A = this chain, B = another copy of it.
């Protein structure tokens, strides 16, 4: 009898201990969050027609504007790793190479009312000054169906041009990312990451038009791209399209590497 009681007590206390332990771990984890530094990610995808950006919907009764996936960093964590981790936690996107855009440090960036009331719920120090580091990346949309978790109620692709409002100063970060992308497309062979392995030159063409947000002459575009020797013709044809089927192309890894390093630009002195 005594033994039984002991067992029950031990078991109960064990359960309590376990609970406490979990709480502690959770608390430690939260305590290690640095209240002043966050990362935000602008993830671009291309649907063969227009550019899209990955945004999350923050769970809340009241209607909140969408946000870029982002959160505080841990104290021990490298910024770049924090961005990768946060992106995965909020959207399920794994192992994405992210490039830094810069720091966004307006002391009021956090002080919109709707944002403040949300911060009260999820942050330990909702009033703390936060400087955020922006990142951007380009991913193949086909490889990824948004999958929300953590405080993201849902994650979804939204056409860049339809976004008019975002949380905090995320519009500013998005604009900076768009601008950076425009710059980069002229300097580095970026399209790589936004298209499937096999693609047509028309798709690449539309991609460039979407990024640069202006029409490009078809013939000149093709000539120019092909002279870079960045793409190689697979001599395969599209199937099942209701028009003349296109040739398929692949990026050429070697030229890609080379151009990544030397850059494409040909103005300079």
Contact surface of A with B, Cβ cutoff 8 Å: 34, 36-37, 73, 75-80, 82, 100-107, 129, 131, 133, 185-186, 208, 212, 216, 220-221, 224, 264-269
Contact = CB atoms under 8 A, between A and B. Distances in A.
Given A34-B36, A79-B105, A186 B267 contact: yes
A103 B106 contact: no
Contacts of A105: 37, 73, 78-80, 82, 133
B208 A269 contact: yes
Contacts of A220: 269
A268 B103 contact: no
A264 B266 CA distance: 12
**Quick one: which of A82, A105, A133 has the most chain B CB within 10 A?**
A105
B36 A269 contact: no
A244 B75 CA distance: 62
Contacts of A269: 186, 208, 212, 216, 220-221, 224
A264 B265 CA distance: 12
28 contacts: A34-B36, A36-B36, A36-B37, A37-B37, A37-B105, A37-B129, A73-B105, A75-B107, A77-B107, A78-B105, A78-B106, A78-B107, A79-B104, A79-B105, A79-B106, A80-B105, A82-B105, A100-B102, A101-B102, A103-B133, A131-B133, A186-B265, A208-B269, A212-B269, A216-B269, A220-B269, A264-B267, A265-B267
A102 B180 CA distance: 13
Nearest to A129: B75
A132 to B, nearest CB: 9
A161 to B, nearest CB: 19
Contacts of A267: 186, 264-267
A131 B268 contact: no
A38 B159 CA distance: 36
Given A34-B36, A36-B37, A105-B133, 18 more contacts: A37-B37, A37-B105, A73-B105, A76-B129, A77-B107, A79-B104, A79-B106, A79-B131, A80-B105, A82-B105, A102-B103, A131-B133, A185-B268, A186-B268, A212-B268, A220-B269, A224-B269, A265-B265
Contacts of A76: 107, 129
Contact of A103 (B36, B79, B107, B185): B79
A269 B78 CA distance: 36
Top 3 closest A-B pairs, CB basis? A79-B105, A186-B268, A36-B36
